[in-house]
Amino acid sequence: IMKLTKAMIDSGDRLSWSSPLVVDKHCVGGLPGNRTTLIVVPIVAAFGLMIPKTSSRAITSPAGTADTMETLAPVHLSPQKMRQVVEQENGCIVWGGAVSLSPADDVLIRVERAIDLDSEGQLVASILSKKIATGATHAVIDIPVGPTAKVRNQSMALLLKQLLEEVGNELGLVVRTLLTDGSQPVGHGIGPSLEARDVMAVLQGLPDAPNDLRERALTLAGAALECSSKVPPGLGKSIATQLLDSGQAFKKFQAICEAQGGMRELTKARFTYPVVAAKAGKVSLIDNRKLAKIAKLAGAPKSKSAGIDLHSHVGESVEKGEPLFTIHSESSGELHYACDLLRDKQDIIILGENS
């Protein structure tokens, strides 16, 4: 893994920054809607730490961080432009493929996308090579664990945690991993525009903002802030909360978008189809993979406004006929594809008895 990581770093450019402390953040993935980066970056940058974030497009999911950010601002920046944005605003959220930092990784991603695969060693090398190539000194890595997430169980998560921390350490990168709940999607939206809508709701403190997305982002931002000696251990999250609730993080996000080429208006899908509960009950299980597959058939991430709007989470009670989720699509043909899969897969959201 070490050799692969080094080879991947050497395959491209490596950035260096004026700041002695450069933070980065990554999520292992497999969890629809987990768009915390767009909240973490402005919080960390507003605090004054440098966080040059390069993100990938979707590999096997309905949206990658770069796809979601692209609905709000340009992400295809040259290395010179990226540097300019970071030096001006302390942070950026750009597509990694445009800045040729670990080009071998982009080739491997294209292969993975074609065969719907992610291998463990490849995953570790991919994550760490990108963090080191962007010039990071510290990285916070989110590992969602759940039966239908990318990392299925605790033992696999602990192995990944150990590999990331040990290989990172060997390469001079301080890695902090957080094992998080990966049992169900995060927020309401799955697909670029719908996820961006959730992010904006959290940043603006709107009443309908998804609390799970907010809490995850604050936990990760807190861990990132604690990389700085100015932040005592255990106080990162409360500082992150203050930066979000005061509006400073949203102001910083707007500034980053403007610096990257200007903020964009979100688009809405032309066609929608609500999927309703066949009976009353309590949501006991949500299959991340099947939900992601439907969002992809509906046109995500290619059609930015396509995807799924999830109305119910695990533990919530629903009435018969109440919408569980709504499929969004740009074309009636793609909406039909997504609905066809629904007929085959009745177990996407499982309802138990109301206790």
Coil/strand/helix, residue 250: helix
Coil/strand/helix, residue 192: helix
Which residues lie across from 177 on neighbouring strands? 141
* Helix (H), strand (E), coil (C) string for 138-173: EEEEEEEECCCCCECCHHHHHHHHHHHHHHHHHCCC
245 as an active site residue: the answer is no
H-type alpha helices, 90-235: 103-115, 120-133, 154-170, 192-204, 211-225
* Residue entry with tokens 């039966």: 147
| Structural contact between residues 184 and 314, judged by C-beta atoms closer than 8 angstroms | yes
* Residue entry with tokens 């802030």: 225
Catalytic residue among 118, 212, 287, 340: 118
The residues, ordered by sequence, that sit 6+ positions from 95 with a Cβ below 8 Å of its Cβ are 54, 55, 56, 57, 66, 70, 75, 76, 77
Q: How many residues are present in the chain?
A: 355
**Among all residues, which ones are annotated catalytic?**
118
